[in-house]
Structure 1
Amino acid sequence: MNAMRRFQHYACFDWSGQAVARPRGLALATIAAEADARPVLLRPQGGWSRGAALDWLLAHADAGTDMLIGMDLSPTFPFVDAGGYFPGWDESPPDARSLWALVDQLCDGDDHLAAGGFVTHEQARRYFRHGKGDTGDRFGTAGTGRLRAVEHHQRSTRQANSASCFNLVGAAQVGKSSLTGMRVLHRLAGRIPVWPFDPLPERGPVIVEIYTSIAARAAGRGLSRSKVRDADGLHQALAQLGAAPPAPLIAHDDHSTDALMTAAWLRHAARDESLWRSFWHPPALDDAIRITEGWTFGVK
């Protein structure tokens, strides 16, 4: 594996689990590797759907575009802490790709690649916190819910303050966005490698899991200021990452600015050899985690 591989293009999807045709929180930005390239916010008429996002990914798979694509979602649930994603359920999958297949199967009746079918399934729903007074009997005893190994590591090293994918309550919940992302990953059918579940190829597109808050911190924004909602804040953050301002935006919603900053951050990181190497080879990532849980790109 060429761990020091650079790419000709970098991209970021800010993802959403909203069960509508065109989620407001779904945004995509790209930036070319050239030093003078500006980040570009890609927005189809009416906004992105998850189906359109899947089509965009498949088109770049067909074209063999040399692009690193960050997706702001968790590609799996915790596994290593309990020896399974759903301990006590005989359909609990053994690895990430089997999990993606199960999620897509149970959500087959959901329009817009949504995930209601999974979180309402008679067995699967037992592992989630659904709302006040509605917590599944297998959610676990910890108030935060179960975490993946990388999420424990993020918290202990203060690189991020990640939430459990089993929590479906509150503004910080990420369960539904992650489930909808798993449906998309399954439907890619291996056409684009997903690191670290797949080896890093010598050419073509690659998908990695990212947290936009990590990019925001690298751009000089603290955890309490990670969201950018104005032009000056966006331009300052991009300048910190060595990127010029994008074309004027209609509105500076934090989904668009997150995508722009994170695409620029991926390119910025690729220019630092020691940083880039540490992103591809985090010491805490072992084979068991690699197969079942994956890792957040940029967490060292």
Structure 2
Amino acid sequence: MRPDRFRHFAAIDWSGAAGERHAGIAVAICSAGDQAPELVRAGHRWSRAEVLDWLAGALPRDTLVGMDLGISLAFADRGAFLPGWAESPADARALWALVDATCADDPHLGVSSFVDHPAIAPHFRRHGGREGAHFADNGTRGGRGRFRVTERAQEAMGCKPYSNFNLVGAAQVGKSSLSGMRVLHRLAGRLPVWPVDPLPAHGSVACEIYTTIAAMAAGRTAQRSKIRDGGELDVALAALGSRAFGHMGAIDDHRSDAILTSAWLRTAAHDPGLWKPAGLTEEIARTEGWTFGAR
């Protein structure tokens, strides 16, 4: 990876919550060098559709943009995303298309129609104690759910990932991941998504991020990955070679996650090992994808 491959580095803290606009969405960007990242539209309450428009039409040239969501579902463990269903998609892009088509009538890029689909719901753990018969990784009830190969790599690094089939609890990432898949499908032909798409020689690229990995690179532990104080954020930025953001006092962790991870992408993007992790095969890239930074 040549040092000048990317000129800008953006990180998006995402939300799959119901409704149009979300306090949980934050977008930060920085340029090559050591300037502190900036919040895009600081103070703005983003909608998912607005983020899609920004990615499609306002992303600066040669930007590596990380999205804090799962870009796919587990496949390798059971040879299918939705085993036992004849219409289970064959790869990640087909999965994105299925999610978007199934949810065509869901407003605000929501995904309720997908997780409530009678053939799909048995694979998810939903609210109200509704755990599908196929939620667990061994095909029985209970447990943490199915995991992708990249999520097992995250565990080996000391992180605690959650299954994208889990839709319950404050830390669940299922609906945010599925809503993100609708965005990725609509970006087809305009923004490559690594590693589902090969890394092109030039231009902007999207990838999956896990903000805990960025925090750990900045000297935090997985248990203390969330930053809610401006001074602590500046300490973490300094550990990544970045100038201070300069916010005094409390800051919500959505904004701090985006800011810190943008700075981390700037330091990590040119590490060739992160683009070729040991567990990333062609089949995994095509079906499950990968989290940038997971080794």
1:203 positional shift: 1.4
Counterpart residue identity of residue 274, structure 2: F
In the TM superposition, 1:92-107 aligns within 5 A as 92-107=88-103
- Asked if 1:109 is matched to 2:105, the reply is yes
8 Å CA contact retained: 2:231, 2:248: no
Moved beyond 2 Å, runs of 4+: 2-6, 43-46, 246-251
Give the corresponding residue for 2:168.
169
8 Å CA contact retained: 1:208, 1:297: yes
Give the corresponding residue for 1:11.
10
Instruction: Report SS of the residue matched to 2:45.
Output: coil
Give the corresponding residue for 1:204.
203
**Structure 2 residue corresponding to 1:58, chosen from 45, 56, 64:** 56
Figure out how many residues of one structure are paired with residues of the other and give that number: 291
- Of residues 217-226 and 129-138 in structure 1, the stretch that sits farther from structure 2 once superposed is 129-138
d(CA) in 2 for partners of 1:248, 1:152: 35
- C-alpha change, 1:101 and 1:190, in structure 2 (3 Å) is same
Give the corresponding residue for 1:47.
45
8 Å CA contact retained: 1:73, 1:181: yes
1:43 positional shift: 2.7
Counterpart residue identity of residue 103, structure 1: V
1:146 positional shift: 0.4
In the TM superposition, 1:63-142 aligns within 5 A as 65-140=61-136, 141=140
8 Å CA contact retained: 1:67, 1:206: yes
- C-alpha change, 1:224 and 1:44, in structure 2 (3 Å) is closer
d(CA) in 1 for partners of 2:205, 2:97: 20
d(CA) in 1 for partners of 2:228, 2:191: 32
8 Å CA contact retained: 2:16, 2:179: yes
Per-residue Cα deviation, 1:177-220 (whole angstroms, up to 9, x for no partner): 00000000001123111000111112111001010000011111
d(CA) in 2 for partners of 1:233, 1:20: 32
Per-residue Cα deviation, 1:132-175 (whole angstroms, up to 9, x for no partner): 531112212350100001112221x2342111011111112100
Give the corresponding residue for 2:281.
286
- Asked if 1:252 is matched to 2:245, the reply is no
1:46 positional shift: 4.0
Give the corresponding residue for 2:28.
29
8 Å CA contact retained: 2:28, 2:259: yes
8 Å CA contact retained: 1:220, 1:237: yes
1:288 positional shift: 1.0
d(CA) in 2 for partners of 1:109, 1:200: 33
d(CA) in 2 for partners of 1:40, 1:224: 26
| RMSD (Å) for aligned C-alpha atoms | 1.7
d(CA) in 2 for partners of 1:18, 1:294: 23
d(CA) in 1 for partners of 2:185, 2:42: 24
In the TM superposition, 1:230-245 aligns within 5 A as 230-245=229-244
- For structure 2, the 5+ residue unaligned runs are none
Per-residue Cα deviation, 1:221-279 (whole angstroms, up to 9, x for no partner): 11111110111111111111111122547951000000000000011224xx6xx1110
d(CA) in 1 for partners of 2:129, 2:207: 35
- Asked if 1:148 is matched to 2:143, the reply is no
1:34 positional shift: 2.1
Give the corresponding residue for 1:160.
159
d(CA) in 2 for partners of 1:85, 1:5: 37
d(CA) in 2 for partners of 1:264, 1:254: 15
8 Å CA contact retained: 2:9, 2:64: yes
8 Å CA contact retained: 1:12, 1:30: yes
TM-score with structure 1 length normalisation?
A: 0.92
d(CA) in 2 for partners of 1:248, 1:6: 30
Per-residue Cα deviation, 1:110-150 (whole angstroms, up to 9, x for no partner): 11111111111111111101135311122123501000011
